[in-house]
Every structure is written in C-alpha cells, then in structure tokens.
Structure 1
C-alpha cells in the first residue's frame, strides 16, 4: 500500500493562467491599438479619446473595432506545455486576464484548453487587486495556483497557493520569491538575446542601402574633399537612424501580415521575441536622433529631404504598399530620395540622368522583390491575392516583363548619358563609359534569371552586396568610370 496520501490531481485547486505576457508573448492592448492605427489611420487618435473614459472603456472600443487573428498570435510554448501536463492530469484550467472578454473568449475557443474564462468587461478592468479579489471570491484563500508575469500579478500571487513566474525580470522574480509560494520560474530571454532581437528589428544590414547618399559626391568627382566626406558620414548616420525607425514602425503595423508570411513570421515583434513596447518607445527615439543630428550638423535641405522620405515611407506603410504598381514606384522613389538627400548634404546638384537611372533601376529591383514573394505563393498553390499587397500569383509574368523592361531602360539611360555634353566635359574619355552598358545588361539579366529560378531570398540590393558576381561587376563598373575620368 502506498504511503502517499495526497489527494488526486482532479481535487487540486485550479491552475489560473494570465494572458498578456504569460500565455501570450505579446500584449493585446498594444496589438489592438496598432491594428487600429493600421486599418484606420485617419482615426489613429481616437484611442486617446476612448482612454478618457477609462482603460476598460479603451479596451472595449478597441476590441469592438479591431478583429485580431488569434490563431496567429505568438503563444509561449512553455506555458502551453504546462497547461497540457496539468490538463492531462485532470486539473481544471482557468484563463484570467485583464484583456477584454471578446479577445479572451476567441483565444479560449481557439486553444480549447480552458474550463473557464475570466476577463475585463463592463466597468471592471480585471487586473491586479481586482483579479485577486475575483479569484479569492470564487476559490478562496490559496484556492488556486496562478501563472503571471508582471508587477500587477504580485497581489494575485500573494493570494495563491502556488505561484508560477513567467518571463519576469530579476527584480520581479525576487519580489515574487519573497512571498514564499513560488513553485516554478519560466525565465525571460537572456539580455544578449533581447539585444540581438532589437538589432535585428532595426535591420542594420539594410543600412548598406544608405551608401547611395555618397553617389552624387562620386559622380561630381568631389570625393577627395574631407568636409564632404564628413558630411556624407553624418548624412549616412542620420538616414540610417531614420530608416531603422521606419523599419520598426513598419513591423509594428504589419504584425498580422508578417505572422502569415512564410519567413517574416520569425521577425522579432511578430514572433514575440521582442516586446511591442520596446518598438513603440524606440521608434520615436531613433527618429528624433536622426533629425536632431541633421538639423544641427547638416544643411537644412538635407533634413527637408529626410522629412519627405519619412512621410512617404509612413504613407507606404499605412496605405501605399497595398496598392498595385504604386507600391513599387514608391519604393523606387524612396531609393531616389537617398540620392537627393546626398546632393542636399553635399550641396551638389543632381543631373537628370542620375535621377532617371535611379528610378528605372530601383523600380526594376522593387519588382524583383514582388516577383520573389509571389513566386513562393504560386509554388505553394495559392491563387488568392497576396496578404497586404495588391498582387495575385497570376501576375508573375506581367511583373517579370515590367521589371526587366525597367532594368533595361536604366541601361539605355546610361548609354545616353555618355553622349551628354556635360558628361564629355566631366570625363576625359567618356567613350569608355560605354563599356559599363554591357556589364549592367549582364547584371540586370542575371538578377531576373536568379529570381525566376527562385534563388532570390533577400532584398535585391542587400543580395547584391553579398553576391560575389555582383561585387565583381560593381568593381569593374567603378574601374570603368575611374578610367574614363
């Protein structure tokens, strides 16, 4: 006969699970607010008015106006495993959350793991002491075990039999442990891991695109002047900080679309590796730093171009990216604005030829990116419109035609550039520039052939900076222009 006199598991107190930051590696209030901004950009300030009626009123209005896809949210697998083990042992599982009941009920219906759902509704924001009081009223003192993650959970843990501390920082872990009932700790990601996720979200590798700022200086043959080089470095830093701010904002607004994408779902915010609040705070900080440096150390025209870049990017993130053709033209325009910013930083006028070449070339590369995305969708058998885009997989052939034609037009612009009087005055042997035309034809053709074969897995500009053949072509291109000087 066994000496174990413990009651069966089914007789144990229920296991109560918090939602935001515990079961979910995100925050539904922030998720719904960001979704509201994306779907209703003209009403982006409405939540501030709703907040005047109280936090629970804000949650209710957001839940009524924004429908989140709960099937794609980033759930913490460790908590799901804990629930699975306890549920298999016959234990009652309760979801208790400060999020609105509309979202809580949808999540419970999706997961099919909970016997009961307690959530914010009416005039009650079910957090902190209010959540503790509700649980004590239903189950009595130490009549439940509770898994939570935040300082608001301290009073709830205090009333529980056992506390499960999930993804909490060291200070909160110590405060919870001081209450003497912590049964288990599920640690947060290591600080270094969080830092890496933050840098990935900033997309530092994309900063290479901002080297285009130096192109007007090179084209004007003034790269040997130290003051111009210093201005270029400062302009590069400002543009890079602004671009990272844009990338963060774009990822915050594209959470739902990214989570349904075969590769973008692994991005730090979409996957829950990085808190949404970190992105919300970092976005204006990077943007402010970019403009502070630009306005202080560079000509005002540079900051004006930077502002135009940011406004156009914001319009792209909120609306233009979902419009067929206009999205690719906007991307080409954003690349061209980098050249214009460089001209403004150096005080160097831009030629018609450079602007025309930029628009045609970068339109081609923008269409490469769209083609690569749609090709993956077609190979998966998807015939529906791409999520968050204005294209269908059936548009592949037309996109390829338009993109290749645009790339070849950039070669034509380069050829015509060699016959311009200003070019003949700038170069001693302008006829040598003709040699760059077949090189560019080779590169454009190769890029499109690789994309057609499904070998383009990155932004084409970033791909070119990593691709050995592209680097060789670029070096030969530079050598030709140097020889013509």
Structure 2
C-alpha cells in the first residue's frame, strides 16, 4: 500500500474535505519562481520590475503581475506522484478535494483543471497573499476549525496544520519530518523528497567542462610548459568551468517549459523537478562570483575575457539563441574566447593566425552543432510537414544551406593553417616546419567526418565534447600531436 493510501485510510468520514497545497506539495516546483523565470526569459530588460513590484506593491501584487505577463506552462510542470495518488484516493472515497495556494488564482485554476475533479481553489487575490496565517483563517472560515485535512510541505504551513483535523506532509528532508512530528505527533508523512547531490552535480553539466580544455591551446602552441604557465592554464580552466556551469544553470532555468516537452531534456534535474529551481539561481550566482574571484590571480586581460564570455552566454540564453545565424556567430565566439582566455592567462599577446584559425574552425563547429539538432528534429517528420527547431530560428529546410556554410568555414580554417606554414612565426618555433603540412589532411578528414556524422544523426552532443570522447577524434588528435612532436 502506498504512503498516500495509508494516509487516506484512517482519516474519518467521507464528507471532510482534503485541502492540498501547491508549491513543493502538488508540484515539484514553485509557481512564483517559475513565473519569475519565464518573465525574465521574455522580458530580460525589465528585470528591474520584479523588485519594484515586490517592495512597492507587495508580494500579492507581484504574483498578479507575473501571472498576467509570464506563462510558466502549467501543463508541463511535473506533479508529485504521491500527492496525486492522495488526491485520487480521496476522490475515490467521495471526499471533496480543494487546492489552496499562495499563487495567483489564474495559475491555481489552470493547475486544478489539469489535475481534474477539484471541488474548488483558494488562492492569492485582492492584495492578500494566501500563505501561513492568512491561509489558515481562510480555510477555517470556509470549513470550520478542524473541519478539513491539509497536506503541505513547509514551515509556513504550520498555522494551517494547527487548524486542520489531520496533518499530512511532504517532507523535503529528515529534519523537517522530525519538526512536523514533534509539533504534530499524529502527522502523516505522505512523501519524502530529498535533493540528491548527484542531481545537483548533473545540473552543472560537468561533461561540458571538456570544452574548456581549449584554454590549453595557448600553452601547447606557444610551447610554454613550465610550472607557472601550467598552473595559470589550470586556473583558467577552473574559472571557465565555473562560469560555464553558471551559464548552463541559467540557460536551463529559462528553458524549463521547452525542456519539459523534450524527450531527452525533460530528464534534466530542473525540468524533472529533482532539483528545486531556487537551488539553480543561488548556485549560478555563487559560481559566477567564484569564477571572477579566482580570476583575480591571473592577468587582467583574462578576467576581461571571462567577463565577455559570461556576458555573451547570458545574452545568448536570454535572446541571441533565437536569432538566426547570430546564434551561430555567438557560439563560435564562445569557443574562441576560451582559446583567447587561455592565451591571456599566460600573459602572451594574441596572434592574428590563431584569431583567424579560431574564427573559421569554431564557426564551423557551431554550425555543425545546429545541423545536428536540426537533423535530430527531422527524424519522424511527416511528408509536407515543416518542422522547426524549438526556441531557435531554423527549420529543417535550412540544412541544405547550413551544411555547405559549415563545411566552407571548416575548410577555411585549414586554408588559414596552410598560410600559417609560410609565416616567420613557424620557423621560430619549429625545427622542421615542413612536417606540419601533415596536419592539413588530418584536419580535412576530421572536419568532413563531423559533418557526415551530423548528417546521419550520429552526432548527439556538442562537437567539442564529442571530439574529446570519440575514439577516432582522439586518434586524430594523437596524430596531430605526433606531427607537432616530430616538427620540433
């Protein structure tokens, strides 16, 4: 028997209503945070309105404004299975079920419609934030003292539990369970929800840190292998990992409605409800601040590169990713900034050859990333159907143009490398510079293979991450390293 069924079994007569809280209880999220995030995603330049509404008009007004201007997509927010089971058991027993929430009425009514069979809703309206004592007074006025059972999940629900007949709780940790049972010995814990450390780590997307290995390019190409240079590059790597995770957290929080309807992205920690969205906001701020504090031990140019990287990623998350071709230029730029940041961390001047090579190569990789997403989206398309990439400015018809664009950019990087062979810089760094020509066919092979894999829908991740985990790509990289070694 489920915890929900056990909780329902002995609650008494069938005419006593069951009242269910929303945030953290019925849903695995919080409607206020969800609404605020979608408001920011839609109106990033109006972020100042959130504190303005809160401190000048109050929390109830803030929720009303957000419900009018932001859509948290109620239909996609994950429900808590144990609470839904509790509701279904009560309905099967003939008991009326109500939803009581501090969220705005429009959102609560939409949630009630989604759940089905709800007798009525109580919500924030008319300037009254329906939480804590205000919720308790409202329910007592409706059902009488001890005239209802209530299921909640937070300390703010204690006044409501004191007025209810039976205390039913969703516990988000062992300490909270003990506090509830200490105050209400007969309380029933209908569900226990704990944030698992591995889910928090997964939200940071550590597999994407592989892209930050690009900061070591300056170390390798400049032949700076001393201890100080190695330590500087490692510090730069850590800074970019922290900044990148901060950006990924923000991007995931803004993309929640779209991620939740995606077959793969719906399993992400925030989209699935495994990690509360507030955790993401706090972690993003801590990681961004930590990255900049750590960067102060490196040259100022590196801190500037890190700042540009973070500003671009935020602009990308809020707006630029929906702009056709601009998103590709930005993605390519984000790859390149890692390289330039690595050079800046060593205190070396930026070379025009590295600038040109990075421009072409990383634009090519940004295009192949979009091509992979479009190719995956194309699978299962019905004849005559025009599919678009959700949240992006492309349709599958653009593949016929993007593939040539990407290949041209990739081969352009090889051309720049070939020109570099004739520069005096090569003679200064290598004893046998002519041997470096062997790298050109290796680059042509690798770039061509990446586009073929993308066309076959076999490139399911970021191309840089894929290259660092793909055996053939690693073997190609080893061959490039061997050529560099015999050219010294």
Give the TM-score normalised by structure 1.
0.94
For 1:377 and 1:234, how far apart are their aligned partners in 2? 38
Residue of structure 2 in register with 1:276 after alignment? 277
8 Å CA contact retained: 1:25, 1:76:
yes
Residue of structure 1 in register with 2:325 after alignment? 325
The alpha carbon displacement at 1:124 in A equals 1.2
8 Å CA contact retained: 1:216, 1:350:
no
Q: How does 1:384-423 map to 2 (within 5 A)?
A: 384-423=387-426
For 1:14 and 1:365, how far apart are their aligned partners in 2? 58
8 Å CA contact retained: 1:432, 1:483:
yes
For 1:171 and 1:89, how far apart are their aligned partners in 2? 32
8 Å CA contact retained: 2:177, 2:189:
no
8 Å CA contact retained: 1:128, 1:152:
yes
Cα RMSD for the two superposed structures: 1.7
The alpha carbon displacement at 1:311 in A equals 1.1
For 2:237 and 2:435, how far apart are their aligned partners in 1? 31
Candidates 460, 468, 471, aligned match of 2:471:
468
8 Å CA contact retained: 2:378, 2:387:
no
Q: How does 1:23-422 map to 2 (within 5 A)?
A: 23-52=26-55, 53-178=57-182, 179-189=184-194, 194-223=196-225, 225-295=226-296, 297-381=297-381, 383-422=386-425
For 1:72 and 1:476, how far apart are their aligned partners in 2? 48
8 Å CA contact retained: 1:365, 1:403:
yes
78-87 or 151-160, which deviates more: 78-87
Change in 2 beyond 3 A, CA 1:8/1:280: closer
For 1:111 and 1:376, how far apart are their aligned partners in 2? 33
For 2:247 and 2:340, how far apart are their aligned partners in 1? 19
Structure 2: gaps (5+ residues): 1-8
Residue of structure 2 in register with 1:3 after alignment? none
SS at match of 1:391: coil
The alpha carbon displacement at 1:8 in A equals 11
SS at match of 2:431: coil
322-331 or 167-176, which deviates more: 167-176
For 1:256 and 1:369, how far apart are their aligned partners in 2? 22
For 1:149 and 1:8, how far apart are their aligned partners in 2? 19
8 Å CA contact retained: 1:20, 1:97:
yes
8 Å CA contact retained: 2:152, 2:168:
yes
The alpha carbon displacement at 1:9 in A equals 7.8
8 Å CA contact retained: 1:217, 1:348:
no
For 2:10 and 2:132, how far apart are their aligned partners in 1? 30
8 Å CA contact retained: 1:161, 1:181:
no
For 2:267 and 2:104, how far apart are their aligned partners in 1? 27
The alpha carbon displacement at 1:429 in A equals 1.1
SS at match of 2:468: helix
Q: How many residues align?
A: 475
Matched, 1:429 2:432: yes
The alpha carbon displacement at 1:58 in A equals 0.7
For 1:373 and 1:285, how far apart are their aligned partners in 2? 31
For 1:326 and 1:10, how far apart are their aligned partners in 2? 63
The alpha carbon displacement at 1:154 in A equals 1.2
8 Å CA contact retained: 2:171, 2:177:
no
107-116 or 377-386, which deviates more: 377-386
8 Å CA contact retained: 2:83, 2:190:
no
SS at match of 1:262: coil
